Amino acid sequence: MMHTERTRVKRLPARGNYDRETIYSILDEAFICHVGFVADGQPFVIPTGFARIGDDLYIHGSSASRMLRDLAKGVEVCVTVTLIDGLLLARSAFHHSMNYRSVVILGTAELVDDADEKYKALEAFTEHIIPGRWAEVRWPTELELKATSVLKLPITEASAKIRTGDPKDDEEDYTMDVWAGVLPMNLSKGEPVADTRLADGIPVPDYVRDYER
């Protein structure tokens, strides 16, 4: 069940969305999530990469990571993802805002011990960044696998919040001679830059040259 009292959008509830496909589409487009948790009475919010496999969210890092060690103990976690689609320029300073798509996931994460699941998660991390890469690169060694921890967070309590459209001004401000509207924002790629130690004759792969997000 995605929609619970804890994930119900209370501020501007019309922007709330609990559709699984919508939530997954936002997660699959984003690169970075922020992981919030409390350890020894101190709150932390840590940005990290992630990947989704089915109804589970995976995060990974060094086996020495304090965040991963704390989360593996079963502490409550809040994971957020945000995509910015545009800057809203209103006629008043008060009503400036952004168009966005965001997701909040609540729950507890568990350490992935199964070797096959861990390996699939590491493949998913790579493919989430750039599809097609896993087939070309060297796969993790046993030593690298031991040095890496993977955590799984079931996506059972989650909600999306989405803002689209024009800025909303006070009615009396619509007569002002001030430009108002939306400045669209998107993540775009540049030209690939070769590693300074790349051997001669190795072309840019199609999945890099034609990359889209």
Give domain limits for the chain: 13-167+193-209
pLDDT recorded at residue 10: 77
What's the rounded Cα separation, in Å, for the pair 148 and 26?
Answer: 26
Considering the domain 13-167+193-209, what is its CATH architecture?
Answer: Roll (2.30)
If you average pLDDT over residues 2-17, what whole number do you get? 78
- What 3-state DSSP class applies to 125? helix
What's the rounded Cα separation, in Å, for the pair 151 and 81?
Answer: 17
If you average pLDDT over residues 158-164, what whole number do you get? 96
Is-above-0.95 flag for pTM? Answer: no
What pLDDT digit, counting tens, does each position of 22-81 carry? Answer: 999 999 999 999 999 998 899 999 999 999 999 999 999 988 888 888 888 889 999 999
DSSP 173: G
What's the rounded Cα separation, in Å, for the pair 44 and 172?
Answer: 43
For all residues of the chain together, what is the average pLDDT?
Answer: 94
